[in-house]
Structure 1
Amino acid sequence: MSSFRQFVWDPVLLLSQMTCLQTFFYAIQTSVMIFCSFFGYEPLVSSLFAIQIQRYMAMVQLIAAVGVSFSLSYVVQRAKQCLDFACTVHFFHLVITTIYNRALPTQLTWWILQVISTTVCTVLGEYLCMRIESQEIKLEGGPSRYDL
């Protein structure tokens, strides 16, 4: 049976997409922290993986969630998969934070921030992917560069 988009299990693609999104998540957080350092904030690696919520880091993580949602529309390109990838990014953040602190985060505000961040990332990512998926497909156009 043929269909419009067949699902093909490609573990290399899946792992590379997850690695790209996780890297982008931490790169955005680091960039925003460096930007905030011009205004008196002292960026520390321990702030990225802190189990105690700080105001700056809550905003940094929410900005990173918005950035990951934009990258979802380029890396994943499927609205149905945005929830999976957003949850995976935040799950790996939980794992890395737990390993870094040698303790599971127990502060309720940390968990609320993760839920809000995952929700923002998912909803905005799905919206952007649906906009791209619903764009008009041009069947006629100018001459192709492959025409002789």
Structure 2
Amino acid sequence: MKMKTGFRNTQWDPLLLIAQIIAVQSLLYVSLGFIMAFMDVFVGANHTLDHLFQYHEIHVTDSGGRSVILSFVLNAFVGALALRFIVGRTKLCLDFTCTYHFAHLFICWVYNGAFPSTFSWWFLNAVCATVMCVFSEFLCLRIELKEIPVGYTPLDTKADL
């Protein structure tokens, strides 16, 4: 089934979609792990998965909590770059951003054994989703709005002489 949208023909490809979701999720968790490890070394904290998935770790009362917050915000920019290079379509950025954050919600829920209930967790994830979506749409839109050269080549001007 072919769909005509804008200037591109797109085809529904569930395998490509699933591969893109897995690639984005994997890349974001790997980058978050590296950013978090760097921040843990910087502030002298222990390296644990709790920093990634434990919603009680997100707080501003000490440098460890602030480093977790900064890691998530920096990872939102990495996520925007990932969406730019893996997905590359402005209209899909919101979909992939929401997919990543809903999967993260589910993983945190399972990891903690309870639904995330702190305001700081929800606020941080809302901010990160907004940053990731807006910045990735900006990056993708810059590529999509580039001029498409039509029929003009510099060699054509020499033929006129």
Provide TM-score, normalisation by structure 2: 0.81
1:17 corresponds to which residue?
A: 20
Q: Does structure 1 conserve the Cα–Cα contact (< 8 Å) formed by 2:40 and 2:47?
A: yes
Specify which structure has the higher proportion of helix.
Answer: 2
Deviation of residue 85 (structure 1)?
0.4
C-alpha distance in 2 between matches for 1:99 and 1:88: 17
> Which of residues 85, 110, 128 is equivalent to 1:74?
85
2:123 corresponds to which residue?
A: 112
Q: CA RMSD in A?
A: 2.0
Q: Per-residue CA shift, 1:59-116, capped at 9, x if unaligned?
A: 1111111101011111111111100100110110000010111110000111011110
Matches within 5 A, 1:1-148: 3=4, 4-39=7-42, 40-52=44-56, 53=58, 54-139=65-150, 140=152
Count of residue correspondences: 143
Q: Which runs of 5+ in 1 are unaligned?
A: 144-148
Deviation of residue 142 (structure 1)?
8.4
Q: List structure 1 runs of 4+ shifted beyond 4 angstroms.
A: 139-143
Specify which structure has the higher proportion of strand.
Answer: 2
C-alpha spacing 1:69/1:99, structure 2 compared with 1 (3 Å): same
Q: Does structure 1 conserve the Cα–Cα contact (< 8 Å) formed by 2:97 and 2:133?
A: yes
Deviation of residue 50 (structure 1)?
0.9
- Report sequence identity in percent: 36
C-alpha distance in 2 between matches for 1:74 and 1:2: 22
C-alpha distance in 2 between matches for 1:99 and 1:105: 10
Provide TM-score, normalisation by structure 1: 0.88
Q: Which runs of 5+ in 2 are unaligned?
A: 59-64, 156-161
Higher relative CO (CA 8 A, sep ≥ 6), structure 1 or 2?
1
C-alpha distance in 2 between matches for 1:141 and 1:59: 48
